[in-house]
Amino acid sequence: MLIWSILISFAVGIIMVPIIRKFAFRINAVDTPRERHKHTKTTATLGGLAIFISFSVGMLLVPIDKSGFVPIYFGALIIIATGFIDDIFDLSPKWKMVGQILAALCVTVWGEITINFINIPFYGELDFGYFAIPLSIVWIVAIVNALNLIDGLDGLAGGISIIALMTIAGMALLLKDAFVAPVALILAASVAAFLIYNFPPASIFMGDTGALFLGYMIAVLSLMGFKNVTFISLLVPLIILGVPLSDTFFAIVRRLKERMPISSADRSHIHHRLMALGFTEKQTVLLIYCMALLFSITGFVFSFSTTWGALLLLLLLIFCIEIIVEFIGLIGEDYRPILNLLQKIHRKRK
C-alpha cells in the first residue's frame, strides 16, 4: 500500500501542477522578470501548493499510524498559509518569521518533538532541559530559511529536497522508523512530480509556498529521525543538508564581512558564483545536485563510523568545503587563505 501511496502522490502532483499554474495566473501570483532574475518571462508561482496537495493525498492513503502527524500537519498549514500570502502580497521578513515560529511551536510544544539531549564524545550526556524547545525551534527555522535562500535557479531547491528526503528515508529504514521513512518517500514523490515542470526552463516556480513547506518538512523529519541521539548522529542531517546550510552560513559571513544587513539580498550565493565561472544554468543545477548527493553519501558513511572515524571525516569535509568556498569566491574573491598557502608551497617546491 505504501508503493501505491507514493505512486498516487506522484500522479496527483502531475495533474495538480498545471491546475495550480492556471490558478496562480488568475490571482496574479506570478513572478515577473527583474534585474536579479534569470528567467525572461512572467512565470506562475504557488507550485508548492501542488506539492502540498499531492503530499496530503498520499498521507491520507498511506497505512501508518498518523496520530502523531496532526501537530506536524497543522504546522504545515501555517507554513503553507505564510508562503501563499507572501507569494501574492510579498510579506516582510518579520511576518514570515512569525509564521515559521508558529509552525515550529506546533511541532515542539503540541507535538512534543524536540531534541532533548545528546551524548557528546569524551564528555557524556548533555541534557538541554528547558532549552530543548527553543533549540528545536531554531533548528526548524534555520533549515526552513536555508532551503528558501537556495531557491534561486529552476529545479535547484526541488532537486536538493528530493536528495535530502531520499537520504532521510534511507536512514529511517535502516533505523526501522515506521513513520519518517514513508512520509519522506511520499513527499519526495510529490516533489518529483513538480520537478518535471520546474526543471530548467521552468514553467512554474514553487515560490515561498513550496520552499518554506519543504524546508519545514525536512527539518521536522530530520528532527524526528535523529533526535535524542549522539552528537555524531545529530550532525548527520546537517551533513545531508550541507549545500543549503553551508550556502546560508557563508552568506551570513559574507554580509557581516561587508557590513551589510544579514537579510539583504546579493548575487554571491553558490549558484551565482558557479554561473559567474561560466557554467550554464542547467550545468550549475546538476553540479549542485552532485554536491548534495556527495553530502548525503557522506552523511550515510558518517552515521556508521566510529567516533574517531567520524571526527576525521568531519575534518576532511570541512577542509573540502573551505577549498570549494575559496575556489568559487563564496565569501569574496579576495578570500583565499588555504589556496594561497598551497600556491606558496608549490612555488617553493619548484
List residues forming the annotated binding site.
Answer: 148, 208
* Known binding positions for Mg(2+): 148, 208
d(CA 155, CA 191): 10
**In the beta sheet, which residues pair with residue 120?**
124
Q: Do 212 and 220 meet the contact criterion of CB atoms below 8 Å apart?
A: no
Q: Which cell goes with 272?
A: 551565482
End-to-end CA distance of the chain: 65
